[in-house]
Structure 1
Amino acid sequence: MKKQFFYIVLMGLVAPLASCNDFLDMEPMSEITPEDYYQTVDQVEEFTNQLYADILTTHGSYSSTFEIDKDTDNQPSTETPGNKYDNTGQWKVSMDNSSWSWTNIRNVNYGIEVITENYENGTITGDETSLKQYLGELHFLRAYAYFSMLQKWGDLPILTQAFNDDEATLVEASKRSPRNEVARFILKDLDLAAKYMTPDFETSHTRISQDCAYLMKSRVALFEGSWLTNFKDTPFVPNGNGWPGTAKDYNKDYQFPAGGIDQEAQFFFQEAVKSAELVAEKYKNSLTRNTGITPQSVSDVNDYFYMFGDDDMSTYPDVLLWREYNKGLGITNHLEVIVQGGYDVTRSMVDCFLMEDGRPVYNSSIPYDDQTIAKARSNRDPRLVAFMKQPGQINYFINEDYPADHARKDEAFPPLDVGDGTVNRSLTGYRIRKGGSFDKARCDQWNSYTGSIVFRATEALLNYIEAEYMLTRNIQAGHILEYWKLIREAAGFTGAAADPQTTNTYTSIDKEKADWGAYTAGKLLTDVTLYNIRRERRCELMAEGLRWMDLIRWRALDQMCKTPYHVEGFRLWDVMQNEYDLEPADYDGGNDAFVTPPSRGQYIIAYENIQEKSNLYRDGLHWMMAHYLEPLPIKQFLLTSSDHADVELSPLYQNPYWPLVADSPAEQ
């Protein structure tokens, strides 16, 4: 009988499918059998290239990397936040869940299995260095896909092969391994990736490299070390109080490989330090430097600004991996149109940036004034100055005669209402242009060819700083101060402002309450250095899609279980109101209101403009502990149950505080 390449936990089936259209009745990516395929290096490359598009967020249907951080304290959603910020039960356990999708992991497992076998048998023709490179990339892609799953689900089945259609085998394979074991598996895959890949295999940095593997390893290790530390003694970690894995025989006597949870966390922090240092040492002296200028003409030079919006990112040494777009080949994106309209950031994000003297806005030698956008941007962290939009700026000065439909020559005051529908409404009034190019030719709908950064070396320095500090709690340890100053100097700070000790001296955490990163387990941090490490990360990586990952590993949302959070924007009810022709109906809380009234304070509040009961977020954002992880779909419990009816007979277990009943909300 032909081997069936599927998993019960992947596709939710326990019997072979007969449909010739079903992906499971054929080898991934092709109907060609293993005997006829994966026989040349070119075929292996083609298979690997397809997985780039399927697995890497930046390589699929690309609208904007810079919108991934929406639904956080950095960036608001376009209109309303997701159900994760509702505490009235809108997010419920589903019968099925498309997020519980193992297609990518199944495909890459199949490729690794067949290609490795053919390679070891010597049946693949072509350059061996290239073959090993692509095999290394496959291990990286599996690690990347698994890490995406780990962030959503925690404990996971660890699957490395394609199985025959034997129900008992498939049920056994569906068992969830403790999350730290999954993280260890990911690290091993990344080690294999680095082992197979050749340093500097290609110099354009459009393919995954050894450096990417080390950077990714530091990211995963820092994530898991942080999670184990911050969720200790809770059901969200193995052997924690109420951990659901204990209820299953195969996990009830689990022992951490390092001995205990503290030692396990230390293992991950150590791995993060080692791998991050490999990248940091290689690139620390070649970080692209910010001049602090928002270009307004072709003569304005700021490589740091252009790095995020260039069509050729191979010239920036600290860009470790980027995705190239090509208008001639019809491979385009939507980025420049989004930048033209602008995407919002919160007041919390803007206020998090330091003044140019390296001190917080509330304790600077330079008086801070946010009466207008221009003033809020003045004398600030050069990164904010470079990227924050200001009314009156020029939006394009390249290819000015190009007939683009979505270009605006001059930056206007942020539209607070949808108006005539030609512009996107601003929820906060603060908008940034990170990723912009000032090129009018890219302003047609889905015709932009701006590249997309996947990995930057600066993240390695940030990962090292945090992991080393979590191990030592000593700012003088290792390379912490060296790397931190290098990041500050590349950002455009000079003198004492580039010294993180300056920031520490003038920081009061009780004045940072609007920053979710100031919290762990519902309490404000007491460690000023740790907070400023988180601050630096927030500012340097603004709008680069890593904020949610950071927030959940820091356990930075508990405080909203008791106290709702209000997403503030700019200071409308002062000088700025003179720029808008506002009538009472615009802010009276009715269905047509689009801003909050002055009685709520000078700063507008996103989501709370309409006070009707239909607006679930009219009194702010809330949190439930269950929402740190997604609920497993009930269908998977039924399919893996011995009688396919009783969910309790499944080897699977539900995530903390989520019930085993479909269409039911979280318990807390």
Structure 2
Amino acid sequence: MKITLKHTLVALALMMAVSSCDVERLPETNISDLNFWKTESDIKTANNYLYTFLPGFGNEDIWSDDAFGLSANSISDGSRLAPATAGDYNSPYNLIRAANNVLEKAPRAEVSATVLNRYLAEARFFRAWAYFSLVQKYGSVPLILKTLDENSPELVAPAAAREAIVDQIYADLDFAITNLPTITTLGTADYGRISKTAAYAFRARVALFEGTFAKFHSKGDAVKHLTLALASSKAVIDSKEHALFGNYFDLFQMAGEGRQNKENIIVKQYGVSNTERVATHNFYRGSLETGNLNPTKSLADSYLMKDGLPISKSSLWVMPDSSHKVFRNRDARMSATFMKRGDAMMTTKPIFDIANLVFNKTGYMFRKFANIDDWNSQASTIDRPLLRYAEVLLTFAEASYELNNAITDAELDMSVNLLRERGQIAKLSNAFVKANGLDMREEIRRERRVELAQEGFRYWDIIRWKTAETELVKPVLGNFYFKSEFAAATVNLTPDNIILVQAASFRKFDPAKDYLWPLPINEIALNPKLDQNPGW
């Protein structure tokens, strides 16, 4: 880990040496190119900069129906306008520029083909990572595969077809899969670097997104992408390089750090302690406790009862008359994800009793990543998991079902039932679905929602499933209003005594335009051949 920290510190030093950057140009460091690209160490140091683009903690779940912040969100409620500029557009191109720079200059080094290809594979992985973030949001964007200067014609080229960009992503990931070391080979010393299974797992993510987007939006070759998603996720499973971590709550604490946790496939690293750190974040105190990210009733209701049935069907569900009873006989992951009475909270209030409605507008509070020491220091080094083995299992199950409109019990046992076992709920089977009038697709999607809650997936899932137009126009609801427990506050309630956070009348979603993001206006002004997305 100390070696990894050292490498990341070098990357941060390189980043500080860059005086400025934009979508077209990333200046070189103060080290001359003629003197730099000589050794394996040089290439590795240059590649370290790519890792700084891995996303840190954010509040993207408020775009979806899983969470709400201190106020309404314009993406979630459909009120946003096309921006002048957007970091979501420029930052990926900065990463693409940096990756292209490595791909062009690393071959100058006096290293073996095996060593060279390993680092070229890292660069191509990160280029794929950047392009996927662009495709998710904007669909078709310019495809740039070399470094540009002020006179490059690509600066005013039209956007490439979505399918062409995705094919390039697959090509980059294929190269990465072939040339990257396994996570076992990387070991503790190089923990955190991209591995062969990371490339497989990310290819599975891309292919599932594109396959389901094509299927439900009736655009593109769904079978092609879903077949690749199934094969890629199965390759990770068959590698035996990964396994689920035993305790779901500890997975998001310091106990889940490092190579000993075989569930994490890609992480954003922060360090091993406050005295041995690369960077810190303030996600718990700055987002969760202060109300910038609060779970909704829609998410809460998604958690099953212990018998494997939803609250609408289970005999175990009893209308709660106090806050802690909301969690009785539920999926254990709910208690690990939501704060409940008796949980450790923060220095000024060591034990949680009820959410503060001044900040936690829904009357719920997230618990994942909550840590009293981090609240006190405001400097957490808990890593952000970006791709977990649990996601791979969910991808396998969903891809199999969407390809065949069916899934076998054996496939369920090797995927979602491993997650349900950790959540301490009944297994999912075809007979169980039939006997209880359930829908297999919905149960697989439910499993994904609760397992990956608060990790930034929900918005993109309802986009690719084409259900955002149904889910995002619903009112935002919170907890039951337990008057004897909540402090006095002005709060709107439904007739059923549920906290009403935002009424449906204030929410809209236009299927003709909102499934893609608007391109920044300044980018269109700079490139007349770049067309705005429909409806914007």
- TM class, shorter-length: 0.7 to 0.9
Of 114, 137, 140 in structure 1, the residue corresponding to residue 122 of structure 2 is 137
Between the aligned partners of 2:166 and 2:409, the Cα distance in structure 1 is 26
C-alpha distance in 1 between matches for 2:131 and 2:263: 25
Q: Structure 1 residue 344: deviation in Å?
A: 2.0
Q: Distance in 1 between matches of 2:152 and 2:415?
A: 52
2:253 aligns with 309
1:227 — aligned with what? Answer: 213
Question: Does residue 151 of structure 2 align to residue 166 of structure 1?
Answer: yes
Are residues 32 and 386 of structure 1, via their aligned partners in 2, closer, same or farther at CA, if it must alter by over 3 Å? closer
Please, what TM-score do these two structures have when normalized by structure 1? Answer: 0.70
Report deviation, 1:632.
2.2
Residues 636 and 340 of structure 1: is their aligned pair in 2 closer, same or farther, counting only changes over 3 Å?
A: closer
- Cα distance, 1:535–1:433 mapped onto 2, change above 3 Å: same
Of 177, 182, 186 in structure 1, the residue corresponding to residue 160 of structure 2 is 177
Report the CA distance shift for 1:383/1:506 in structure 2 as closer, same or farther (over 3 A).
farther
Change beyond 3 A, Cα 1:71–1:99: closer
1:335 pairs with 2:334? no
2:475 alignment partner, SS class: coil
2: CA distance between counterparts of 1:566 and 1:504?
29
State the distance in 1 between where 2:508 and 2:436 align: 27
> Following the alignment from structure 2 to structure 1, what is the Cα–Cα distance between the partners of residues 241 and 329?
27
Cα distance in 2 for residues equivalent to 1:77 and 1:188: 39
Q: Deviations over 1:219-276 (max 9, x none)?
A: 00010111111111xxxx4xxxxxxxxxxxxxxxxxxxxxxx3xx2100001000100
Are the aligned partners of 1:359 and 1:503 in contact in 2 as well (CA < 8 Å)?
A: no
The alpha-carbon distance between structure 1 residues 129 and 340, as it changes in their structure 2 partners (threshold 3 A), is farther
Whole-Å separation in 2 of the counterparts to 1:169 and 1:26:
13
> Could you tell me which of 510, 519, 523 is aligned with 1:632?
519
Q: For each residue in 1:388-431, what CA deviation from the matched residue of structure 2 results, as whole angstroms up to 9, or x when unmatched?
A: 322233337xxxxxxxxx552111311112xxxxxxx1111122
Aligned counterparts of 1:28 and 1:146: Cα–Cα separation in 2: 21
Q: Where does residue 482 of structure 1 map in the other structure?
A: 414
1:288–1:490 CA contact under 8 A, matched in 2: no
- Give the alignment partner of residue 606 of structure 1, picking from 490, 501, 504: 501
Residue 215 of structure 1: CA displacement?
A: 0.5
In structure 1, what is the Cα distance between the partners aligned to 2:65 and 2:390?
A: 22
Separation in 1 of the partners of 2:80 and 2:153?
Answer: 33
Q: How far has the Cα of 1:29 moved from its partner? A: 4.5
- Does the Cα contact within 8 Å between 2:477 and 2:500 map onto a contact in 1? yes
Is 1:413 equivalent to 2:354 in the alignment?
A: yes
**Equivalence for 1:357:** 307
User: Do the aligned residues in 2 keep the contact of 1:269 with 1:470 (CA within 8 Å)?
Assistant: yes
Distance 1:394 1:32, change over 3 A: closer
The answer as to whether partners of 1:190 and 1:213 remain within 8 angstroms in 2 is: yes
**Pairwise CA distance, 1:168:** 4.1
Report the aligned-residue RMSD.
Answer: 2.8
Amino acid in the other structure paired with 2:383: G
1:192 aligns with 2:88: no
> Which of the numbers 574, 587, 596 marks the counterpart of 2:492?
596
Q: Report how far residue 356 of structure 1 moved.
A: 0.2
Q: Which residue of 2 aligns with 1:319?
A: 264
- Post-superposition offset of 1:77: 2.2
Q: Give the C-alpha shift of residue 560 in structure 1.
A: 6.3
* Alignment partner, residue 534 of structure 2: 656
1:435 paired residue number: 369
Partner AA of 1:40 in structure 2: T
Q: Give the alignment partner of residue 91 of structure 1, picking from 72, 80, 105.
A: 80
Q: Measure how far apart 1:657 and its partner are.
A: 1.5
Structure 1 contact 93–633 (Cα < 8 Å) conserved = yes
Question: Residue 112 in 1 paired to residue 103 in 2?
Answer: yes
Q: Which amino acid aligns with 1:30?
A: T
Indicate which of 191, 203, 210 corresponds to 1:217: 203
1:550-589 aligned within 5 A: 550-559=461-470, 564-572=473-481, 576-580=482-486, 582=488, 586=489
Structure 1 segments unaligned to the other structure (5+ residues): 1-19, 59-63, 238-260, 290-302, 397-405, 418-424, 510-527, 587-592, 609-616, 642-649, 659-668
| Whole-angstrom CA distance in 2 between matches of 1:136 and 1:339 | 37
- Tell me which residue corresponds to 1:39: 38
For residues 379-394 of structure 1, what are the structure 2 equivalents within 5 Å?
Answer: 379-394=329-344
**Distance in 2 (alpha carbons) for counterparts of 1:170 and 1:597:** 53
CA-CA distance at 1:32 after TM superposition: 3.4
Q: Which residue identity lines up with residue 215 of structure 1 in the other structure?
A: A
Judged with a 3 Å threshold, the aligned counterparts in structure 2 of structure 1 residues 336 and 313 are, in CA distance, closer, same or farther, namely farther
Q: Give the SS at the match of 2:243.
A: coil
Q: Give ranges in structure 2 of 5+ residues lacking alignment.
A: 1-17
- The structure whose residues are more often helix, as a share, is 2
Letter in 1 for 2:185: F
Given residue 205 of structure 2, which amino acid in structure 1 is its aligned partner? R
Q: Which of 328, 343, 349 is the equivalent residue of 1:378?
A: 328
Does the residue aligned with 2:236 lie in a helix, a strand or coil? helix
2:68 to 58, 73, 76: 76
TM-score by length of 2: 0.86
| 1:257-268 pair list within 5 angstroms | 261=220, 264-268=221-225
Corresponding residue of 1:149: 134
Partner of 1:499: 428
- In structure 2, what residue type is equivalent to 1:534? R
**8 A contact 2:62–2:69 mirrored in 1:** yes
The runs of 4+ residues in structure 1 deviating greater than 6 Å are 24-27
Where does residue 348 of structure 1 map in the other structure?
298
After TM superposition, the structure 1 = structure 2 runs for residues 271-290 of structure 1, keeping only pairs within 5 Å, are 271-283=228-240, 286-289=243-246
Q: Distance in 2 between matches of 1:181 and 1:429?
A: 45
| Letter in structure 2 aligned against 1:104 | L
Most deviating of 101-110 and 142-151: 101-110
Give 1:329 deviation, angstroms.
4.4
Aligned positions, number: 506
* 1:185-206 deviation digits (Å, cap 9, x = unpaired): 1111111111121123322341
**Quick one: distance in 1 between partners of 2:185 and 2:448?**
30
SS of structure 2 residue aligned to 1:177? coil
2:270 and 2:432 map into 1 onto residues whose CA distance is 38
Is the 8 Å Cα contact of residues 565 and 620 (structure 1) preserved in structure 2? Answer: no
